Structure 1
Amino acid sequence: MSYREEHHFSLQNLNYSENVGVDFEKYSEEDLVSLWRKTVKKGMHGICFSMYEDGQEPGDTITEEQVERRIKILKPHTKWIRSFSCIEGNEHIPRIAKKHGLKNLVGAWLGDDMEKNELEIAGLIQLAKEGCVDIAAVGNEVMYRKDLTEQQLIDYIWRVKDALKDLDIPVGYVDAYYEFSHRPAITNSCDVILANCYPYWEGCNIEHSLSHMQQMFGQAAAGGIGKKVIITETGWPSQGSSLRGAHSTAENAMKYFINAQAWSEKDNIEMFYFSSFDESWKVGAEGDVGAYWGLWDKNENLKF
């Protein structure tokens, strides 16, 4: 039976199986859009904050007004906001989110610029001491990019943990799910495992994407030696080039979001969806799909 507007949104009203997700076979395009919108309206645990409008990119300083406008759009749909940096206007995100009653996973962006790293670490500590940080992320995919050595990253993690030791704030590091089993020294330094899980980037067909994400989560959990695992990024682009069996279409983006949120609710998985708004600048290393990961388009309208 296809989804109808009058149905109350719950797993009981969906033909849902644990590894495959929702059975979309009999859904019309109209039904799929309706279910996607219902899922967005119902809300999610967390969402990654997209900072930049057209013509903006990392390095540009962003105003409080721009951040607040976007926080107000997201507020009815999420409990948590994830931010990626603590400088160049990014520091406004957790302050404004907290003002609006949202919780924050706040990241310090670390790279090979040691001076900027110091500013990021200082900014993260300052925001935490202001009461704006609920989970602190020291670095994002630093090992994947090979910007720092393991020991350099571990030193940053312990600096933040030491600075926040009286504040009861979990401190972790964000990277691809498999890094936590490959790098036990980093895992041991984290209070919480912050794992990025992207079936799309591994060329996975949409029909197997939920099962693949569950396997990713399982590997992060196994590597995490009993520590809490949070999915800090997962998503699917709505247009652009394909990657082997992973096709970037509006239909697949809607299906992936619906399945991810249904699984998150059913199994109580804490998940931050990537991303909130389309960002035109993200077409470098990611190619043309980089600009199309948002639930909202670049003009801040719901995409479907």
Structure 2
Amino acid sequence: MGAIDPMEIADDGDDGITPAVHGQKRRSILSFGARNASRDGVPLAAGAGAGAATGGAFSAFGARDPSGNYNPVPGSGPTDSGSGHMEKSEWLNHQDHGNKRLKWIVGTVIAIIVVGAIVGGVLGGVLSRKHNPTSSTSKSTPQSVANDNKNDLSKDSAEIQALMNNKDLHKVFPGIDYTPLNTQFPDCLSSPPSQNNITRDMAVLSQLTNAVRLYGTDCNQTEMVLHAIDRLQLTDMKVWLGVWLDKNDTTNSRQLAQMWTILDTNGSKPFKGVIVGNEVLYRKDLTPTALAQILSDVKSNLTAKNLNLPIATSDLGDNWTADLTNNVDIVMSNIHPFFAGVTADAAAGWTWNFWQQHDVILTSANASKTQVISEVGWPSGGGNDCGSGTCATMTDGSVAGITEMNTFMSDFVCQSLANGTEYFWFEAFDEPWKIVYNTPGKEWEDKWGLMDANRNLKSGLTIPDCGGKTAS
């Protein structure tokens, strides 16, 4: 598949994750850096037509605390004297929800002790299964991948035609975040990605969107996605070329070098833009100055090579600053209402308001800069989250579930399509390896996909059809 031979790359130790258990038909193992249990492995993650922020009405929507959670969200409702209530979203005026937080200090301490013991047992069990030769999960091998790829699937293959005719899928997403299976270095050396597996994925994704976002360049993932697009003759499909950055200089140099090889080989035509780095400021892997220098170098080289592609970096919505916007063409903000502790029926309005107040406002006076929500989504199960507060019951705050996922999509997807908001839905497929980051009551890390790991639309999940309107 091209320009990079992973066997020639030294292991730079950039994973920062527990080794993954392999064996399912689809299992992504891309590392998204060091995060706490509520955010580990989740790359958080549209256009300029969103409009300027509406002033200070939503200023109480706070920044994340060090654990990665947004501060508790005030109840919505008309502002009155001393009430602390906030004006309702213009999107969703029917909502009127508030969240009460009870602080159980003694219970929390006990819970921490219990969680620690359980997590230790879970991680130990995962590692034991990883190294146990009698494990029921069979590891992907170069030979198994070679067998899968004996016939290069195309749009005329019966298997592909079946995947591309799913009446339950609708092309209503401007973009989708996508992590191809087994594209985490150095795991891909022993469990390599399969071209046909990625071609199958792209067949499914072509019914949902015309743009996919990648997070890195390792293990030939970009080349394989481009090959899939060619084999499926997806003339409208574009790729956002992703470059993974972290605190390891070897990783960064390798990713950037491969980016240039990809662009030198393919030119700019297959791509919609280049996203250099994801949440490096949130993780504190790079300083704003160091990130700005990398972005500036990439932009200069794109110009020198006559490659007319916009450059972006993505970070949490409240990690963006006016200074950082000077180094990009597109401000990409990862905004997840689930971690703010809002109810599902308030989530769409909260997302819009947060984005306007924290990010759109930064470039409202600069028409040359555009804004994209680079990640937004909802988990289909695993518990509930109350922001930085403690949930008193299992129904407080943001509840993970199919019903709640349907509610958020119903409110957000078609509204965004109607008003031209550009965003990437997080994410296409579940990533079962992320179970290692789950903790009791917070077992959602592996459940953010529209589909399960084997490309099946989740039972009970409804992709909105938006009255037949489709994303361009």
Same fold, TM exceeding 0.5? yes
Structure 2: gaps spanning 5 or more residues: 1-88, 96-165, 387-396, 460-472
TM alignment of 1:77-92, pairs within 5 A: 77-92=208-223
> What do you get for the CA RMSD once the two structures are aligned?
2.4
CA distance in 1: counterparts of 2:243 and 2:312, whole angstroms: 11
The residue type paired with residue 298 of structure 1 is: A
**Contact 1:46 1:273 (8 Å CA) reproduced:** yes
Q: Greater helix percent: which structure?
A: 1
The verdict on how the C-alpha distance between 1:87 and 1:139 changes in structure 2, with shifts beyond 3 A counting, is same
Counterpart of 1:278 in structure 2: which amino acid?
Answer: D
Q: Which has the higher strand share?
A: 1
Q: Give 1:133 shift.
A: 2.5
Residue correspondences, number? 271
Superposition TM-score, scaled by structure 1 size: 0.82
- Are 1:96 and 2:258 an aligned pair? no
Match of 1:266 among 418, 424, 427: 418
Q: Which residue of 2 aligns with 1:172?
A: 312
Which structure has the larger Rg? Answer: 2
1:230 corresponds to which of 353, 368, 372: 372
Closer, same or farther: CA 157–302 of 1 in aligned 2, 3 Å: same
1:97: Cα distance to partner? 5.7
Aligned mate of 2:181, from 28, 47, 52: 52
User: In structure 1, what is the equivalent of residue 458 of structure 2?
Assistant: 303
Which residue is 2:254 aligned to?
Answer: 119
CA distance in 2, matches of 1:39, 1:212: 28
User: What residue is the counterpart of 2:462 in the other structure?
Assistant: none
TM alignment of 1:124-203, pairs within 5 A:
124-129=259-264, 130-131=266-267, 132-165=270-303, 166-180=306-320, 183-203=321-341
Q: Please name the residue that 1:215 is paired with.
A: 353
- Closer, same or farther in 2 for the Cα pair 1:285/1:149, shift >3 Å? farther
Partner of 1:14: none
Between 1 and 2, higher relative CO (CA 8 Å, sep ≥ 6) is seen in 2
Deviation string for 1:166-217 (max 9, x for gaps)? 211000110111222xx33221101111111110011111121111100122
8 Å Cα contact 1:198/1:233 also seen in 2: yes
Q: Residue 107 of structure 1: CA displacement?
A: 1.3
More off after superposition, 205-214 vs 275-284: 275-284
Match of 1:275 in 2: 427
C-alpha contact 2:199 2:225 (8 A) present in aligned 1: no
- Give unpaired runs (5+ residues) of structure 1: 1-16, 24-36
CA distance in structure 1 between the aligned counterparts of 2:322 and 2:399, rounded to whole angstroms: 34
Q: In the alignment, is the contact (CA less than 8 A) between 2:244 and 2:255 conserved in 1?
A: yes
Percent of residue pairs identical: 25
Where does residue 68 of structure 1 map in the other structure? 199
Any conservation in 2 of the 1:46–1:81 contact (CA below 8 Å)?
A: yes
- Kindly state the Cα deviation for residue 67 of structure 1 after the two structures are TM-superposed: 1.4
Partner of residue 243 from structure 2, selected from 105, 108, 119:
108
Question: SS at 2:250's partner residue?
Answer: helix
Report the CA distance shift for 1:98/1:64 in structure 2 as closer, same or farther (over 3 A).
same
Is 1:253 the counterpart of 2:405 in the alignment? Answer: yes
